[in-house]
Amino acid sequence: MKRRVVITGVGTVNPLGNCVSDTWEGICAGKSGIAHITKFDTSDLKTKIAGEVKNFDPLSFVTSKEVRRFDDFIIYALASAEMALDDAGLIIDNRNSDRIGIILGSGIGGITTIEREKEALMKAGPKKISPFMIPGALANLAAGTVAIKFGTRGPISCAVTACSAGNNAIGDAFRTIAYGFADVMISGGTESAVSPLAVAAFNAMRAISTRNDNPEAASRPFDRNRDGFIMSDGCGIVILEELSFALDRGATIYAEVSGFGSTCDAYHIAAPPPGHPGAVRSMQLALQEAGMDPSDIDYINAHGTSTALNDRYEIEAIKKVFGDHSRKLAVSSTKSMTGHLLGAAGGLEAIFSVKSIDDGIIPPTINLDNPDPECDLDLIPDTMRKQDIRTVMSNTFGFGGANAVLVFKKFEE
């Protein structure tokens, strides 16, 4: 028998804030976290803006030695996991650690570490390579390091499905609990890919915005003047628990995870197909597992990247799945404020989804000044909306044709 799974804790580091409360306040206020890049010289780059993590003190979560050894994507995961566990009030010890696991997603892993060590190799030779280079670069070392710090000895894995990684991680964690392989899972996504190499590479693909003169207005999903997504760093982690485990310890429950859909386009390494049939099927599969009709969904946290094809084809897919109900749905892209956290996007947007349910607030899509006529749904322009929200769908779609969709609902015993 499939077991029920609930969300009991949330934690994040991202361009809008270094905790959930500050981040959610910024989201509700329609604030942008996008600014000019400060981590490195952008003189030779076409794109000079990104969603950097700001005013973050790693020493609040790790030692100075660990700051030198760990890539930022690992540090962000350690910080977010600690916040999420504290929020959940969950104590991990020898009585429960074998039944607590972790699945984190990352699109790239430690690319900053790879760049730094490659530079050291070219300048001074192999003797200057750090012995911590490989542990700092491997995408699964965020999950591994979090497991070591908190002593989780249950299932461990890492989803590396580009921009779908966070949702894939949470979906896999949901099923790990639902089918009895764990009682608690720490899950989400983490990324620190704003680096010279990554920005230059996305520029070469013509995938990211070059609206350098107005950073806060650069991420503009569904707007006819959008010119690409905005790269961002950060992490979003949620604590998933089997329902009776959570109730027995008196945990506060944000929402229930009720469905997950995962498909592949098998079409193109970077572009979705017209109409996005893979997105259609992933949404349908998530609804099917949730036991819901399309008319049951109140709000969709869209993938909404601010790219020409994704935005248009995602709207087409939503119309295909929801039919007449698509005109009654609220749909918004929080990437208009956070930028695109790549493999961490799903983790952060899962937090926004459950906060929407918990607080009865639909986040806005900011910078929607001139809506694309083909993106003609209720996209919540500029200002958040107060509304009773019982169900939320969260979409993520990634390079390689990876599609991952989650459905959350208000918890009812």
Which positions are catalytic? 163, 303, 340
The rounded Cα 353 to chain-centroid distance in angstroms is: 11
Radius of gyration for the chain, computed over Cα atoms and rounded to the nearest angstrom: 20
What counts of helices (H) and strands (E) characterise the chain?
Answer: 13, 14
Give the pairing type, strands 385-386 and 361-362: antiparallel
Phi-psi domain of 323 (left: phi exceeds 0; alpha: psi -120 through 50; beta: other): left
The answer to whether 189 and 81 have CB atoms below 8 angstroms apart is no
Strand blocks (E) in 84-199: 100-105, 156-159, 184-191
Name the residue with tokens 């607590």.
100
Q: What is the DSSP letter of 112?
A: H
Question: Cα(253)–Cα(10) distance, rounded to whole angstroms?
Answer: 11
Structure tokens of 10?
């949330």
Each residue of 167-178: b (16+ CB within 10 Å) or e? bbbbbbbbbbbb
The answer to whether 97 and 153 have CB atoms below 8 angstroms apart is yes
